[in-house]
Structure 1
Amino acid sequence: MKSVKHVIFAFISILLLNSCDQTNEWALDIIPNEAKFNSEIITNEPVLAYSVKEDSINTNIATLAIWGSYVDPVFGKTKAEFASQFRTPGIALTLSDTTKVLRLELVLRNRIDTTKANNYENNYYGYQGTVQKMKIFELKKSLDYTKEYTSRDKISEADMELVGNYDYTIDVLDTVYKITMPEPLLQKIKGAVTNTTDTAYQNIKFLEVFKGLYFGTDQVASEGGLAFFNLPHSETQLNLIYRHDHDTADRKYTLTANSAAVKVSFFTHEHNAEIISNIENDKATEIYIQPMNGLYTKIKLPNINANWRDAVKSKKTIIERATITLPRNSAESDASLLKPTPNLIALRDTNFIKDYFSSTFMPIQHNSTANNYVIEIGAELMDYLKSDTTEPFEMTLKAAYPTYYPHRTILKNFNTPGGATLKIQYSKINL
């Protein structure tokens, strides 16, 4: 009776597997009734993993500008800067001879949720309290609205002029940062927005005069942090404050970094010596995930083709499940305030659209209790083994956030005790 049940169970399982779509079809087309399944698990399939410097990411800013510098105790120094155009409201400013232009005020809106003072992801990244120097430059060369900017693009010092240096301290309770800009810039912008009545072309003419601002900084020697600024926000603006002689309150003419304005991020990393020695080193005991054009991890299965392809293509073996488990190095991953733990994404390609990766990825879960990540690679592995490709099976492991988020982590490699593991559960089909 038991043998009959086994045959029936095997037959139903095959029917279910054969009903899968093309990309996840693991089963055989036709299995004789006398076929037997012997399910086994192996954990000794060779795996190589190593960290790689990010070659290039898209740095056009859609919503969030990151600014500041900090020193990561594991990774080293990081600096984030950005540049932005500002757009007029589309109408000229009318001033009389008696109108007083009082000041030009820059307002930056921090992305801060004041109801969650300890929510590092929403408020800032790094350490509070470090005084940093915000170096604001006027751009002398226009940003190109038709261009997809990448981390390889830089703005030369010759293409910008220093406007001023201003102290900035990350404070979780600050929501708005205001700076009074110098008189020469006030006069330039005043002239640009009052000398035209051609509203159809006002922004074009304005951008010929005022091309935007670059927000730079000096690298801090210790601690530090990154501030998050919402650019297309009603409170992020350049305000020309003025008052007519009959006014009882100030008026303002507002320029915004709206969705039409070009905004670009610039990231710089100075990695510690240990990190540098571990880059592209598959013997390293740790592997790294660091966004903002930092580091990502490559995982390779060098022998999977030789060990499995013939058996899979001849329909003598089915891989039922394959998982990679990646333990985090908690002591280093959670250093000080460099949290939260990032979500990760595993891809068999490196295509992504703007700040987001494509939909071709393998499921990955973060287990906070076990403090590890588990990647389900079974479906991708079977598709690979059933194909005729001669390319090796390789994966790219990155942070699942948009590429400009700073949250990083350190993982234990496959070659270290208690490190990463690959588990393959498979069935041999004996006729």
Structure 2
Amino acid sequence: MKLYKLDLLTLLISLFILSACQNTDSIGLDVDPSTGISGTFIDTVTVRSSTVREDSILTNTLTQYPLGYFNDPIFGKTAANIALSLTMVNSNTTFGTAPVLDSAVLVLHYGDEFYGDSTSKFQIEVRQLADQLNKSKAYYNNSIFNVNSAVIGSKLVTIRRRDSVKVNEIITGKPDVIKTKAPQIRIPLSPSFINSNFINAAPANFSTQALFMKFIKGLHLKVNEAQSSGPGGIAFLNLTDSSRLDVYYKNTNGTAIDTTLLSFPILNGSEPVAANFTHDYTGTPVQTQLNNPTTQYDVTYVQGLGGLRTKIRFPNLDKLKALGNITINKAELVVTVVDGTDNYKPSPRLLLYTTDIASQRQFIPDFGTNPLVGLTDFDFGGFYDTTNKRYKFVVTTFLQDILKGTSKQYDTFIAPVSVNYSRQSGPVASGTTASRAVIGSGKSGVTYKMKLNIFYSKIN
């Protein structure tokens, strides 16, 4: 009778364990039932994580450029400014006979992100560069630009990325018309600056692009925090193909006086555009972690614009070898956002990558270019799950290679990237998103613990 009871108890326990292993939804492995994952489940592999500063970022070739200031209650202060070149549509540009300035407007088209407080007002100031940007020079986010002190244009704006604007459009020989244009920032520039450097400047300065660049130098954009209001934010601008300086002027055409528009495009593919962005973590919990890199905290931080990334290690991964000859059916790293830290939306997308023996960044195989193991962006993961407030990354092949000994484990990192990030860019630090997130660390016992979920099977 006692033996019967013991066998029954053993059977019930076995059924409970089997049921737990098959309930993939509860452990983060959300799979298609038709391709259900079988095997033994474990989530006790140690994960160690810490917050580290991001590397500097090359800004010459950004797809969009950051401008603004942002005072984040958790991450401290971020500031971003831009140095840009102007181009001519044609060589030997001329303003015609007896030109008289009407107005000049710097037109800045939005990129695809604004991160911060949408009600804040920003005092954007425009200055002239004292030195032209050099095509052959690499400009990193910590580069300093030599700028003239005089403000040649300014405007107090609220960032409205989705609001079109009404613009007075000139039509030669006909009355001007009001047209609706794509969302943009329009900053009027000083008449004295435009007269001196454009309308009344020597024609030789406009004979070639090289001479024009040498003469005009370029423009610098910065937000004056003291004259702005609110916590602020970082706006991204399209300085690739649609932003420009528009100069409206009148000149004599025979006996008639016409109003004419001459545009000077901003084209970062043709002439240099660069950005400077900085982070000040003074007095924040971020600074505390940076000052104590060996301490295990309950949370870690990630932040775009060359801010912060989370370093990850799996120090006891080799202990899985004690299980014998196993194959990993599926493995996911589950990263959870800490409640109460999403007053600003968590980064919409994070990237997980590793490093090699030379500390150079490398994709893990699951996100690599080998079509046999490389997954699609969606299948690999890293996109923010707004319902469960978490990110998931598939790391199956990455872990299997380490266990087989075909790959060594070096430092692995998580960092923000823009939603439209393409792996063709490589695993580089992102200068095209200012988003951030506070995530649970791998420390044992924390509420939002970072977990490595593994399904494996033994091989005979």
Q: Same fold (TM over 0.5)?
A: yes
Classify the secondary structure of the residue corresponding to 2:341: helix
Give the share of equivalent positions with the same residue, in percent.
22
Q: Give how far 1:196 is off.
A: 5.7
RMSD: 3.0
In structure 1, distance between residues paired with 2:44 and 2:222: 50
User: CA 1:61 to 1:352, structure 2 compared with 1: closer, same or farther past 3 Å?
Assistant: farther
Q: Give how far 1:249 is off.
A: 4.1
AA in 1 matched with 2:250? R
Q: Residue in 2 aligned with 1:240?
A: 247
AA in 1 matched with 2:235? A
In the TM superposition, 1:22-421 aligns within 5 A as 39-95=39-95, 98-111=98-111, 122=112, 124-156=114-146, 159-164=147-152, 166-172=154-160, 173=163, 175-176=183-184, 177-190=186-199, 194-195=203-204, 198=207, 202-219=208-225, 222-234=230-242, 236-245=243-252, 246-258=255-267, 259-271=269-281, 272-279=283-290, 280=293, 282-305=295-318, 307-308=319-320, 316-333=325-342, 335=343, 338-339=344-345, 341-349=347-355, 351=361, 363-365=380-382, 366-387=384-405, 392-401=409-418, 403=430, 404-415=432-443, 416-421=446-451
In structure 1, distance between residues paired with 2:120 and 2:127: 22
Deviations 1:194-253 (A, max 9, x none): 22684xxx101111111111112234685112233222344x211232212344541022
Q: Give how far 1:82 is off.
A: 0.8
User: CA 1:168 to 1:247, structure 2 compared with 1: closer, same or farther past 3 Å?
Assistant: farther
Q: Which runs of 5+ in 1 are unaligned?
A: 1-37, 112-121
Classify the secondary structure of the residue corresponding to 1:80: strand
Deviations 1:271-314 (A, max 9, x none): 24211112335511111121001111111011223x245x69xx
Classify the secondary structure of the residue corresponding to 1:86: coil
In structure 2, distance between residues paired with 1:352 and 1:253: 46
Q: Which runs of 5+ in 2 are unaligned?
A: 1-37, 166-182, 422-429
Classify the secondary structure of the residue corresponding to 1:381: helix
In structure 2, distance between residues paired with 1:359 and 1:297: 24
Residue range with higher mean Cα deviation, 217-226 or 42-51: 217-226
Cα pair 2:303 2:436 within 8 Å, conserved = yes
User: CA 1:359 to 1:206, structure 2 compared with 1: closer, same or farther past 3 Å?
Assistant: farther
Q: Residue in 2 aligned with 1:428?
A: 458
User: CA 1:394 to 1:232, structure 2 compared with 1: closer, same or farther past 3 Å?
Assistant: closer
Classify the secondary structure of the residue corresponding to 1:244: strand
Classify the secondary structure of the residue corresponding to 1:384: helix
Deviations 1:158-195 (A, max 9, x none): x5443336232214236331312241343123455722
In structure 2, distance between residues paired with 1:129 and 1:215: 21
Count how many residue pairs are aligned between Structure 1 and Structure 2.
366
Q: Residue in 2 aligned with 1:5?
A: none
User: CA 1:63 to 1:382, structure 2 compared with 1: closer, same or farther past 3 Å?
Assistant: closer
AA in 1 matched with 2:138? E
User: CA 1:425 to 1:123, structure 2 compared with 1: closer, same or farther past 3 Å?
Assistant: closer
Classify the secondary structure of the residue corresponding to 1:45: coil
In structure 2, distance between residues paired with 1:162 and 1:94: 26
Residue range with higher mean Cα deviation, 50-59 or 281-290: 281-290
Deviations 1:105-131 (A, max 9, x none): 3222234xxxxxxxxxx4632223433
Q: Give how far 1:255 is off.
A: 0.7
Q: Give how far 1:400 is off.
A: 2.9
Q: Give how far 1:55 is off.
A: 1.9
In structure 2, distance between residues paired with 1:197 and 1:371: 55
Classify the secondary structure of the residue corresponding to 1:250: strand
| TM-score between the two structures when normalised by the length of structure 2 | 0.71
In structure 1, distance between residues paired with 2:118 and 2:385: 29
Cα pair 1:65 1:230 within 8 Å, conserved = yes
In structure 2, distance between residues paired with 1:96 and 1:78: 45
| TM-score between the two structures when normalised by the length of structure 1 | 0.76
AA in 1 matched with 2:155? D
AA in 1 matched with 2:213? L
Cα pair 2:142 2:278 within 8 Å, conserved = no
